[in-house]
């Protein structure tokens, strides 16, 4: 169905500042995200990589993984909000994916990622963060 709509001359899949890909990412619809991105008008990096931020917020690991492969999608927007909030909401698989990206700074905003993981009692996330050399471990008091 989506393919039929995308070839119709009156349909613009990038309309409303790429709302279609944002909704597909928010809901974790990877096949739709992939199909939309076959159209050159669709931009997953619009609105400060909003599609990635929405997929991350909802823990849609496959969508996050796919979007991270796109050169214009930036996981570091808004002071690394993606990794900070993935840690806060205990999306460990998303955290692992984000940490594979060398652009991501898990110590951004005074180590907010690990602090919020500790506040939430997310021990597995804390352990993953502590293994990352980019995390500033000075001044941390981690209790398990």
Question: 51 lies in a domain?
Answer: yes
Are residue 82 and residue 123 in the same domain, yes or no? yes
User: Which residue range(s) make up the domain with 38?
Assistant: 1-74
Q: 55 — phi, psi (to 5°)?
A: -60, -40
- Percent of the chain at pLDDT exceeding 90: 81
Mean pLDDT of 1-11: 61
- Domains: count for the chain: 2
pLDDT of 88-119, one tens digit each? 999 999 999 999 999 999 999 999 999 999 99
pLDDT of 9-21, one tens digit each? 666 888 899 999 9
d(CA 99, CA 92): 10
- With contact defined as beta carbons under 8 Å apart, do 74 and 43 qualify? no
Are residue 28 and residue 50 in the same domain, yes or no? yes
């Amino acid at each position: 169905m989506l393919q039929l709509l995308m070839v119709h001359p009156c349909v613009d899949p990038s309309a409303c500042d790429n709302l279609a890909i944002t909704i597909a990412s928010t809901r974790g619809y990877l096949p739709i995200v992939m199909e939309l991105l076959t159209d050159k008008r669709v931009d997953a990096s619009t609105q400060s990589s909003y599609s990635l931020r929405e997929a991350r917020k909802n823990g849609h690991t496959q969508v996050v993984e796919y979007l991270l492969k796109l050169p214009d999608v930036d996981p570091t927007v808004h002071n690394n909000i993606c990794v900070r909030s993935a840690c806060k909401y205990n999306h460990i698989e998303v955290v692992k994916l984000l940490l594979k990206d060398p652009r991501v700074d898990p110590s951004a905003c005074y180590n907010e990622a690990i602090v919020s993981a500790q506040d939430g009692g997310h021990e597995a996330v804390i352990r993953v963060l502590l293994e990352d050399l980019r995390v500033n471990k000075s001044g941390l008091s981690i209790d398990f």
